[in-house]
Structure formats: C-alpha cells, structure tokens
Structure 1
C-alpha cells in the first residue's frame, strides 16, 4: 500500500513537471520578440521589465494580472487597469496602437475615452516605451504573441 502511494505521488509530480516543461517549451518556441517589426534584444526586454515594475505594476499588477473586476466600471465612470497577460486584451492591439496609447494616452486611440492611465510622453523615452511593451509581449504564450504579431503586420508600421 505504501509503495503504491509513493508511485502515485511520483506520477503526479511527473505530470506536473511535464506540464510545466510543456508550457516553457510553448513560450520558448518563439526565438525572438519583435516590436514594430524590429527584433528586440534581451537587454531591451530586461530594461522593459525594470521599467514595467517602476511605472506599470502599481496599477496593472506585478504579474500583469490587472486590477480586480477590471471589466466593471468604477464609481468614477472609468475602467480599472486591465491585465497585460494572456487573460486581458492587450494582445488584441497592434504594436503601433500600444505604443501610441502608452505615449499619448488612451484618448489618442479611443477618442473621448477617459482613463486613469497617464500618457507617458515626457516620462519615458520612445525607446523606454518600446522596451516596456516588448517586455510585456515577451511574457505572452505563443498563441497570443502570434495573434498580436498578425494584427500588427496587418496594420503596418506607424507613420
């Protein structure tokens, strides 16, 4: 009986380890991250991770989980900060939309929409915005990353 329990525990552990390894392979199949069609370096992604922690995590969460009930309107009439992971909608937007939204504010992409998110023009350089967005993209599973790349390719580079 004891041997059987140990075998079951071992099989359970092996199953969890296999699932974790599969998830990692799924992400690592994507050899590089690109932003606006230009490959992003590992150094830029590392910089983006630091910038995200400094400028974005307080609202969007340290693990990009967003604020609770992010789909429900706040008493102010504004929306909570959405997640930037695969459970949110960030990956539905093109690179140029994400860049413009981050630099100039949500109203620049969705006219008339009021948001608590500040425009980062004058706070972050264009290169820092690019690095931050590249870091966010680097965390997405392959499916979301590829979908977002197709959306960006259809729209073309920002002019």
Structure 2
C-alpha cells in the first residue's frame, strides 16, 4: 500500500511539473505596453537597473549574472537553484512581457498557481513596474550582441501583426 501511495504522489508531482513547464513554454503573448519594453539601450535605465540588481537579485543570481551552481538540478528541498541571467542561462529565451510578469507576479502565477517550489519571490509589492523594467534592461544590457539580437527577433515574432 505504501508503494502504491508513493507511486501516486510521484505521478501527481510529475504531472504538476510537466504542466508548469508546458505553461511556461506556451505562455500567451500579447503586445506589451511601451513602458513594459526592456530598454537595454538607455544608459539611465540600465544604471538604475544595475543598482536594483545588486540590491535585490545578485545574492541569488550572482554579481555577474552567473546563477548558482547546478542550477538545473533540484536541491534536497525540491527547489531549483537560481539560474544564470547571462548568455548561458534561459532568460533571453523569453519575451519581455513574460520576463516582466515573472518578476512582478512570481513563477507560481505564471503556471496557473500550481504549487511550485521556488525561492524566487514575486517583486510586485517590492519594485515598481519601472524598476522591474530597469533591472531586466540591465540584465539584457549584459548579453552579447548576438544574444540580444536573437532576443529582439523573438520579441518581434510575438508582437501583434
């Protein structure tokens, strides 16, 4: 009976994780308001974002956006370590609005409030929308030119026609 219960729990957990990943992969895209577009070309916004990143993000994601070690492997508590935000990570694989929503509302909101173990808080009550755009603009400003170009192309693909 214990084996049967363990199999049910494992199966249910697998389905929740699979659903969460699917929700992220197929996140509906809409037109982001102009204020919600990352501005990695604006020195003042990037400078503001650098300060916010140092104060709010660097303790987990690293001073150089390197993330935590083994960021793709769950820890004993079931949580994934903080991913890198440099070109080696997956941040640039997501359009601006999804990144903004993730920082503002947290990952559980992105996956339909499915229980999801994470240390990443929702910053909507801590940072303003402009501050969230600034920190993400800072992160984007640190990507190599080819990665930035790919991110810009992806944003263009998700823009309404």
- Over 3 Å counting, the alpha-carbon distance change for 1:71 and 1:35 in structure 2 is same
Q: How does 1:32-71 map to 2 (within 5 A)?
A: 36=37, 40-71=41-72
User: 2: CA distance between counterparts of 1:62 and 1:39?
Assistant: 18
Q: CA deviation at 1:151?
A: 1.6
> 2:101 maps to what in 1?
100
Gap runs ≥5 in structure 1: 1-33
User: Pairwise CA RMSD of aligned residues?
Assistant: 1.9
Q: Which has the larger radius of gyration?
A: 1
User: 1: CA distance between counterparts of 2:108 and 2:149?
Assistant: 27
Q: TM-score, normalised by structure 2?
A: 0.71
1:61–1:83 Cα contact (<8 Å) kept: yes
> 1:126 maps to what in 2?
129
**How many residues are treated as equivalent by the alignment?**
124
SS at match of 2:151: helix
Of the two structures, which has the highest relative contact order with CA contacts closer than 8 Å and spacing of 6 or more?
2
User: 1: CA distance between counterparts of 2:40 and 2:120?
Assistant: 27
2:87–2:147 Cα contact (<8 Å) kept: yes
Q: TM-score, normalised by structure 1?
A: 0.72
Gap runs ≥5 in structure 2: 1-34
User: 1: CA distance between counterparts of 2:121 and 2:111?
Assistant: 14
